[in-house]
Every structure is written in structure tokens, then in C-alpha cells.
Structure 1
Amino acid sequence: MRILKDLFNLFYPKLCANCDNQLIKNENAICTFCRHDLPLTNFTNYSENKITKTFYGRITIEKAYSLLFYRKIGITKKLIHELKYKGNEEVGVFFGNWLGEMLIENNEFSAIDVIVPVPLHPKKRRERGYNQVSKFGKALSNHLEKPFVEDILLRTSTSKTQTFKARFERFNNNDTKFQLSNVAALKNKHILLIDDVITTGATLEACAKELQKTEGVKISILTMAYTE
């Protein structure tokens, strides 16, 4: 099996999702050089930081964290684009493993009960073929030893892509709606709500408001990146 794997890698080498250089042994999705260039947020306070302040007066959250800063130009944008539009789900696995190891070490999200992703509308999921945060969530689940539940929060409305809309337009887009498929299953649960990028926080806010219709629910938020 090892010989077959080596032959496969010889003819179909794994490339860095940012620079396209060939990955070497023990590198996954991103090469070591590009990893050192990633703009880490390095938030040390999980209960009060730029992300939690984004949601002040909108929803109540326990904790929030993002691994990277997302900028108009740069490595984070390239990696998220690879994950979201080019089918490179290994980027999500890479970030899920990184954050999972970090959170186990610092014990910040040890109180959560379940991991829930921001869902795609079924139509968009069929078009794309996957939810870009699914493998991210499954990797987190493996490290945190908490269930990843993908079919309990559903998106019931479609909306055009937000990528090229102005920030003000995205914030005021109230067309996106969500619905719980099983309210009772989340009663008194601490939910870790995950997504790829926080921009205005409007989508996460809409998800949290639906989740908070359940009695005793607490919400924490975790994403790969945060828009400065």
C-alpha cells in the first residue's frame, strides 16, 4: 500500500493551496512557508474580543474565536476561495485540526455540548456538492470529542452570493432564514456554531436567533477567519 501511495503522489503530487508548490511529507493542504505567513488573530480573551464585540446588542454569546484575519488581498482570501469554490476541502480539514488541537490545549470550549455548522440551502449544496465547513466541523469534532450535527439547523431561503456585495448591503440583507428540524434535541445545550468567515456577522446572528428559540440554549462561535 505504501508503494502505491508513493506512486500516486509521484504522478499526482499534493500542492500547497496557496503557492502551488509541492507539499512534502507531514505537510497537509498548506506548505510550512505559507503557514508561517498566515495572519493569526492571536486573541487571548475568548469572552471579549473583536468578534464578541461584533455581536454586542444583537445576540448573546458565551465565547467566540477566529483563527485568522481575512483581508481583501492576501493568503487567507486565497485559502478560503480554494475551500469554498474550488472543492479543496483539505483546507477545512487543516484548519479544523489546527483549531481542534489548540482548543484542547487551552480548554476554552470544553463546556460545549454540540457543534453545529451554518448550513447551505439544499439547492446551493447540490450545485457546490458540499458545505465548505463540513470537514472543518468533523475535524473539530474529532479533537473536542463532541458531536457534529449537520442536519438540525436548516436554511430555508436562498440568497445571491455575498462575496462582491458592499459591507452595508450584506449587513442589511435580511432575506436569509433558518429553521430548526428538532427543537427539543438542543434543549439546555451549549452550541458551538461554526462558519468559514465572519464579515458583518449577519448570517451567524440569524442562525443564533433561531437556535436561541430553544429553551436553555447557549451559543459560542468559532470560524476560520474574521474580516478586519
Structure 2
Amino acid sequence: MFHDFINLLYPKLCCSCETTLNTNENILCTSCLHELPIADHHLEKDNPVEKIFYGRIPVENATSLLLFEKKGMVQKLIHNLKYRGHKEVGPFLGAWLGSELKELSAWQEITVVVPVPLHRKKLRIRGFNQVAGFGQEIAKSLEVPYRDDLLLKITATKTQTIKKRLARWGTIDETFIIHNSSSLENAHVLLVDDLVTTGATLEACAQKLLKIPNLRISIATMAVTH
């Protein structure tokens, strides 16, 4: 009764259409949940996410859970996560994807989950890394550690345009550093992020990580541009 009273005063809203959620609904209403554009690229060989990195970095596996379109449901979902404080979106998507990855033998070789890091200034402004809950839930499903203290961002970049320009000139390599690299020797790292578009940021992170002896990389994101 107490929870019902709280929900009456502060109703939980769908993170997509903003209608009031029923007691048996979580994050998304049933209608939006059924309309989500699901990618499930981990169920495909030579999938679109893997192809983004062909000839750029060696990737063991790559997947995205959802398809991203401008002004679409997924954009609103990620926007609510990043800018409106709906932290529950990350764990929701991470638990969903993690439950599927743990059933696939190729993904059972992962030894550690590492998020794409935020620069400390952006982290201070936003208050959290939007990828954290997503990565933590995947790590829990795969029964491996989640480590956000190994890959660090030391140079702030503002836009995708700037990121592409940095990548073109090769200076994006100076954006990230590895802390305690010896702990990642012989590891199979699952690098996680919210959205993959050009792949420049994930590529820069992977290139830095791949300097560590015998390290392998897989990639998982909430969404990929469609």
C-alpha cells in the first residue's frame, strides 16, 4: 500500500513515451518494449558492428542490442539516461544483453568488462558514467570483473566531428591511458559503450588496450546507428 501511495504521488513514467507505468512494468511500457528496434547482432556472423571495425582493429566479437535512429525511441531512451538522470536505463539494457551473451560460447571467453571512460570534467558535471550500469550488469551475467579504473580518459573531446578530426591526425591516441596494464596481460576485454556511430572512440580505446601483450578485444554497445 505504501508503494502504491508513493506511485500515486510520484508516478513512474515510461522512458520512451512518458506514459504512467503499470505496477508490472519497468523502465518501458509494454507497448514501447514491443516496438523497440532490436538489433541482436551477437546472433549474426559478420554483423554490421563487426564490419565497422574491419581493417581498423582486430575484434573477436562485436554486438549492439538496439538500432539507433534520429528522433527514434532508442535516441530518447539514451538521452534520458545521459541527460535526464534515468540511471536505471543502463542496468536494464545491460541485464537484457548480458542474459543473452552468457548463453553464447564465443562470449564466455570474456575475462573482464571495461567501459569507455569519461573525462573527469564531464564525469563531474554528469555525476556518473552512463555506461557503468550497462557494463556492470553484463559483467554480472558473464561472472567476470567490471573494471573502470584501468582505461582512463585524459583529454576532453567535445563532439563526434572533433573526434573524427583527431582520429584523422592520429592524436586521438593521446586521449586515453592505461593504468596498471600488467593486470590486463592475456585478458579478453569486453569494451562497452552506449552508442557506436563511426567507431572512432571505440577504436582509439581498443588501440590503446591492444598494446598490452596477448590482449584480445570484444565490443558491446547499447545501440548502433541504423
TM-score over 0.5 (shorter chain)? yes
Q: What is the CA–CA distance in structure 1 between the aligned matches of 2:104 and 2:124, rounded to whole Å?
A: 37
Percent pairwise identity: 48
Q: What is the CA–CA distance in structure 2 between the aligned matches of 1:8 and 1:133, rounded to whole Å?
A: 29
Contact 1:170 1:200 in 2 (8 A): no
Residue number among 23, 26, 41 corresponding to 1:25 in the alignment: 23
Greater Cα shift, 11-20 or 170-179:
170-179
Q: Deviations over 1:190-213 (max 9, x none)?
A: 000000000000000000011111
Contact 1:46 1:63 in 2 (8 A): no
TM-score scaled by structure 2? 0.92
- Aligned residue pairs, count: 221
Within a 5 Å distance, the mapping from 1:171-186 to structure 2 comes to 171-174=164-167, 176=172, 177-186=175-184
Within a 5 Å distance, the mapping from 1:138-157 to structure 2 comes to 138-157=136-155
State the AA in 1 paired with 2:86. N
Cα 1:139–1:44, aligned 2, differ >3 Å: closer, same or farther?
Answer: closer
Q: What is the CA–CA distance in structure 1 between the aligned matches of 2:35 and 2:106, rounded to whole Å?
A: 25
State the AA in 2 paired with 1:171. K
Structure 2 unaligned segments of length 5 or more: list them. Answer: none
State the AA in 1 paired with 2:176. F
Is residue 187 of structure 2 the alignment partner of residue 189 of structure 1?
A: yes
Contact 1:193 1:220 in 2 (8 A): yes
Contact 1:68 1:225 in 2 (8 A): yes
Q: What is the CA–CA distance in structure 2 between the aligned matches of 1:23 and 1:108, rounded to whole Å?
A: 36
Q: What is the CA–CA distance in structure 1 between the aligned matches of 2:17 and 2:101, rounded to whole Å?
A: 28
Residue number among 133, 136, 149 corresponding to 2:134 in the alignment: 136
Is residue 82 of structure 2 the alignment partner of residue 89 of structure 1?
A: no
Q: What is the CA–CA distance in structure 2 between the aligned matches of 1:173 and 1:80, rounded to whole Å?
A: 25
The aligned residue for residue 219 of structure 1 is 217
Which SS does the other structure have where 1:105 is aligned? coil
Q: Deviations over 1:38-95 (max 9, x none)?
A: 1111336555211111111110000000011111121011111111111111111110
Contact 1:48 1:63 in 2 (8 A): no
Cα 1:44–1:193, aligned 2, differ >3 Å: closer, same or farther?
Answer: closer
Contact 2:38 2:65 in 1 (8 A): yes
1:24 shift after superposition: 1.6
Contact 1:198 1:225 in 2 (8 A): yes
Higher helix share: 2
Is residue 156 of structure 2 the alignment partner of residue 158 of structure 1?
A: yes
Cα 1:88–1:161, aligned 2, differ >3 Å: closer, same or farther?
Answer: farther
Q: Deviations over 1:95-124 (max 9, x none)?
A: 011101111233441110000000000011
The aligned residue for residue 99 of structure 1 is 97
1:6 shift after superposition: 2.8
Cα 1:193–1:83, aligned 2, differ >3 Å: closer, same or farther?
Answer: same
Contact 2:42 2:62 in 1 (8 A): no
Contact 2:12 2:20 in 1 (8 A): yes
The aligned residue for residue 37 of structure 1 is 35
Cα 1:52–1:100, aligned 2, differ >3 Å: closer, same or farther?
Answer: same
Structure 1 unaligned segments of length 5 or more: list them. Answer: none
The aligned residue for residue 54 of structure 1 is 52
